[in-house]
């Protein structure tokens, strides 16, 4: 487990995927591999990012190693009927074409055991609401990069309110112009200043604090 954790943290994608394959071939339990190696590895990456030891490139290579490892692990997880921690819908709001921040949130959530439905960018309030009806997530996450597009967050929450979804589905928002004040104003449940805080919020909903 320690070796796999280190390979993911160091972003060694091929070696990490090979290691997972070897562990499965040797009878390793996919859920244990996930819980004791992959999730702690991404937690460590998140911690190093927040402490200023890791930056965007290190996050991306670790996420890529995690993704490769998950690809190998997924059939085993499905076979063992291991359920994800929860479903999260993410997207960049209508008219906004930026997606790296949103992608990082997706990576952090997946690496933490959530199923992520990524609606991409330029997502209208109606599309968010349709996706909520279809996928029944616990959280939707909205991202915006500019002041003119962040208004789409308010519109989406209003659309959710009309459909009686507010309270049923938690709303988290983030992006360069977004602030805690704005989150309070529009009635979002959480403002995430980065992908790690978004992941921590999602986990706080399903894993009680020790």
| Residues in touch with other proteins (CB under 8 A) | 11, 52, 55-58, 60-61, 64, 94-98, 100, 103, 121-122, 145-149, 152, 176-177, 179, 181, 193
Q: Dump the DSSP string for 170-186.
A: EEEEESTT--HHHHHHH
Comparing C-alpha atoms, which of 183, 124, 185 is closest to residue 159? 124
Q: Which is nearer to other proteins, 6 or 64 (CB)?
A: 64
31 with 113: CB under 8 angstroms?
no
Q: Which is nearer to other proteins, 56 or 207 (CB)?
A: 56
How far apart are CB 148 and other proteins at their closest, in Å?
Answer: 5
Q: Which is nearer to other proteins, 80 or 176 (CB)?
A: 176
Residue 24 and residue 141: Cα distance in Å, rounded?
33
How far apart are CB 119 and other proteins at their closest, in Å?
Answer: 15
Q: Which is nearer to other proteins, 23 or 104 (CB)?
A: 104
Residue 209 backbone zone (phi > 0: left; psi -120 to 50: alpha; other: beta): beta
How far apart are CB 144 and other proteins at their closest, in Å?
Answer: 9
Q: Which two tokens stand for residue 196?
A: 């790690």
How far apart are CB 190 and other proteins at their closest, in Å?
Answer: 17
């Amino acid at each position: 487990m320690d070796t796999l954790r280190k390979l993911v943290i160091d972003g060694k994608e091929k070696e990490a995927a090979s290691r997972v394959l070897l562990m499965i071939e040797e009878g390793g339990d996919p859920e244990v591999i996930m819980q004791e190696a992959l999730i702690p590895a991404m937690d460590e990456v998140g911690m190093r990012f927040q402490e200023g030891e890791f930056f965007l490139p290190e996050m991306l290579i670790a996420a890529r190693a995690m993704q490769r490892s998950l690809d190998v692990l997924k059939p085993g997880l499905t076979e063992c009927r291991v359920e994800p921690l929860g479903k999260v819908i993410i997207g960049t709001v209508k008219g906004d074409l930026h997606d790296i921040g949103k992608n990082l949130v997706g990576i952090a959530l997946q690496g933490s055991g959530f199923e992520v439905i990524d609606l991409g960018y330029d997502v209208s309030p109606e599309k968010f609401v349709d996706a909520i009806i279809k996928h029944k997530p616990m959280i939707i996450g909205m991202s915006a990069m500019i002041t003119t597009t962040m208004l789409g967050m308010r519109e989406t929450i209003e659309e959710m309110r009309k459909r009686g979804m507010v309270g049923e589905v938690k709303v988290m928002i983030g992006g360069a112009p977004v602030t805690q004040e704005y989150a309070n104003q529009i009635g979002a449940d959480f403002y995430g200043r980065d992908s790690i805080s978004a992941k921590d919020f999602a986990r706080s909903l399903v894993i009680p604090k020790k």
